[in-house]
Amino acid sequence: MTDKPTQTKESMGVDPYERNWMIVSIFILVLFFGLVTAAGFALGIQVPDAEVRVDPQTLEDSGPFANPGLREIAPGEYEAYVISRQFLFQPRELVVPVGSTVTIYVTAPDVQHGFKIQNTNINMQIVPGQVSKLTYTFEEIGEFPYICTEYCGLGHAAMFGTVQVVEELEEEEEGGSDE
Ligand code: CUA
């Protein structure tokens, strides 16, 4: 065997195996960079965003969390303000027509919670003092339960609500719900 490594200028004395691993490592870095870029810009996958800070003591006195719920900001576009607290979500139900794009803002007045909507990629950590925000387009009719995913106390398992995705919104009726 005569494959004793010889140092030449071109190889800078790098062992061929080491060089191959370096090439693989650089390829993986470039691949991941490309995938993350594609996920963020082409597929619109977002990381939960700490949107703004709020004072957990006063968030219900004024501002959007004083009146949590859905608002239509444009045809087919909604904002939902949700408070997660020991041990419920306010509101417990969000009703939107199919095809709606909903930007969900969630915060907590007490302790840390989670907010996950089943069968979607909405899954956020909710920290008092901070508003978490994610956007989702509901393309299918059905019920999408939302649950608390971080242990927040004895009633943790009771924290849930539902996004109802309906064919069409019924005319709003004064005072009270049917069913
Ligand atoms: Cu709220 Cu667990």
The pLDDT value recorded for residue 130 is 92
- The strand pairing partners of 43, in sequence order, are none
Q: What digits encode the pLDDT tens for the residues 21-48?
A: 999 999 999 999 999 998 888 877 777 6
Q: Which atom of ligand 1 is nearest to the CA of 159?
A: 1
The answer, as to whether pTM is greater than 0.85, is no
| CA 30 / ligand 1 centre spacing (Å) | 39
Atom of ligand 1 nearest to the CA of 87: 1
pLDDT tens sequence across 112-138: 999 999 999 899 999 998 999 999 999
Question: Cα of 169 to ligand 1 centre, how many Å?
Answer: 30
Atom of ligand 1 minimally distant from the CA of 86 = 1
CA of 7 to the centre of ligand 1 (A): 62
- For atom 1 of ligand 1, the residue with the nearest CA is 113
